[in-house]
Amino acid sequence: MSRAFTRRQALTIGAIGVGSIGVGAAGLAASTLGSGSAGSGSASTGSSGGAWREPSVLESADGVLDVTLRVAEREVDLGGSSVRMLTYNKTVPGPTLHLRPGDLLRIRLQNDLADPTNLHTHGLLVSAADNGDNPFVRVGPGESFDYEIQLPDDHPSGVFWYHPHHHGLVADQVFAGLYGAIIVDEEDWSVAPPRIVVVSDVTVAGGSVAGVSGMEQMMGRTGEILLANGAHSPALPAPAGSQQRLLLINACTSRYLDLRLGGLDAQVRGIDSGRRSPLTADRLVLAPGNRADLVITTPAETTDLVVAAYDRGQAGMGMMRGGSLTSPEDIVLSLVPDASAAVPTVAEAEPGTHRDLRQSQVDATRTLTMSMGMGGGGMRFLIDGREFDPDRVDQAVTLGTIEDWTIVNTSPMDHPFHLHVWPMQVLQVGGDEVTDPDVRDVVDVPAGTSVTVRIVFDRFPGRTVYHCHILDHEDLGMMGTIEAG
């Protein structure tokens, strides 16, 4: 196809995540590529950065993973330069936690920072009560906290991650280096595990992570340097023609990753905790917090995996005179053909374990509105007209029920909506029905439109949160509480 796409069409595709999912035309992703220039192609030859490196792996044994995560500021190597960043166990990213369904995860979080922190196991279907995945925990400077997180026996396989969630400091701490992968599966990683790719961004000034202005917080900060496993555009060696399985995490505070995959024979096998039959895609958009299970084929020539420039709306509302919020084009990694490189085993794709809720009886419906407005001397980021209050219950749900939530975005910016604990099945984006099961825990809500999701509150009584995953917006108040009982 040669016809151009409007921004709204592109956003609809981006909200679904893969070009041909739920839109009803398998050629949509490929046709988007035809209207651009260098940033629109999936790859360009040439620029490889440093050597490929992956986080260390901490693996469960006999149903338990017992680990200490020490949070501290440390000197790390960033493209040959020493930069002071925040670290888990002295590295950026932190170690990968490899779990299996039914495992017990015990984490002692030791806080050696001058500020409070805590820990969120993003995407895990686990209890948020007490010392579980509790976003209301405060671990003060010099203190430690023992988390105990029980995965259900039927926990879905997938790509998850961990990061701080102390309100008011989330964006600063994630931007400075606090993030790491969690992988849940039944696979044997002793021989050739999949490639973990934690994508983040950062800005450096004077050998440290740069501070941000109030304006950058309101827009949602975008780092000047894109990192994959703590390195800028690293070279990933593999024999030409071999398959590489990439478990991708968008750990950026605000940046959308518009991955261009043309020419890589890319197969998307899962988004967040949702698994699917492998689907060919030329384009994959990951909003902040989204993850993907992706298999690609190594080209015969050095090829860059590119993220295209992505327009996530307008500043508007008196900010930057309505300027465009466009993330720049960049390189995630370079695929370098190397006949001597190891070839990781690509495990068989797993079928989805989430039940399709489209024919389920719905017990209640709700509408949540994400908005922005001036007040109190600055920009306010709101859900249902209110800023976050940890002492207030915004949504009370009944265990054992199924609800439809319509998330409306009246602002000029895109906002990715994240619900803790309970996955969401996407039903409609901007009024268009999603025709295939699409389950995720971060759902992009484009500016000026709405998304409807279906949620089953089948277990886990207690209290947790939902929020915008532009982390600056979360810190500025775009978050609410939900209590299930």
The secondary structure of 237-274 as a DSSP string is EE-TT-EEEEEEEE--SS--EEEE-TTS--EEEEETTE
Give the CA distances from residue 455 to residues 133, 179, 351, 368, 439, in Å, rounded to whole numbers and listed in that order. Answer: 19, 27, 20, 14, 10
Contact predicate 329/260, CB 8 Å: no
Q: Report pLDDT for 403.
A: 98
Q: Report pLDDT for 319.
A: 52
Domain covering 7-49+208-337 in this structure, CATH number: 2.60.40.420
Whole-model pTM?
A: 0.91
Q: Report pLDDT for 28.
A: 25
Q: Report pLDDT for 249.
A: 98
Number of neighbouring beta carbons within 10 Å of residue 433: 13
Torsion of CA 82, 50, 270, 37, to 10 degrees: 110
On the 0-12 / 13-18 / 19+ scale of CB atoms within 10 A, 90 is: exposed
Are β-strands 208-209 and 267-271 bridged in parallel, bridged antiparallel, or unpaired? unpaired
Q: Report pLDDT for 295.
A: 97
Number of helices (H) and strands (E), helices first, in the chain? 5, 36
Nearest to 147 by CA among 67, 58, 61: 67
What distance in Å separates the CA atoms of residue 468 and residue 446, rounded to the nearest whole number?
12
Phi-psi category of 415—alpha, beta or left, where left has phi over 0 and alpha has psi -120 to 50?
A: beta
pLDDT digit of tens for each residue in the chain (485 aa)?
A: 222 223 333 333 333 333 433 222 222 233 222 223 333 333 333 334 689 999 999 999 999 999 999 999 999 998 788 999 999 999 999 999 999 999 999 999 999 999 999 999 999 999 999 999 999 999 999 999 999 999 999 999 999 999 999 999 999 999 999 999 999 999 999 888 999 999 999 999 999 999 999 999 999 999 999 999 999 999 999 999 999 999 999 999 999 999 999 999 999 999 999 988 899 999 999 999 999 999 999 999 999 999 999 999 987 655 545 567 898 999 999 999 999 998 888 998 888 889 999 999 999 999 999 999 887 767 899 999 999 999 999 999 999 999 999 999 999 999 999 999 999 999 999 989 998 899 999 999 999 999 999 999 999 999 999 999 999 999 999 999 999 99
Strand, helix or coil for residue 297: strand
Contact predicate 114/141, CB 8 Å: yes
Domain boundary assignment for the chain: 7-49+208-337
In sequence order, which residues have a C-beta less than 8 Å from that of residue 397 and are 6 or more positions away?
A: 364, 403, 457, 482, 483, 484, 485
Nearest to 167 by CA among 482, 484, 485, 480: 480
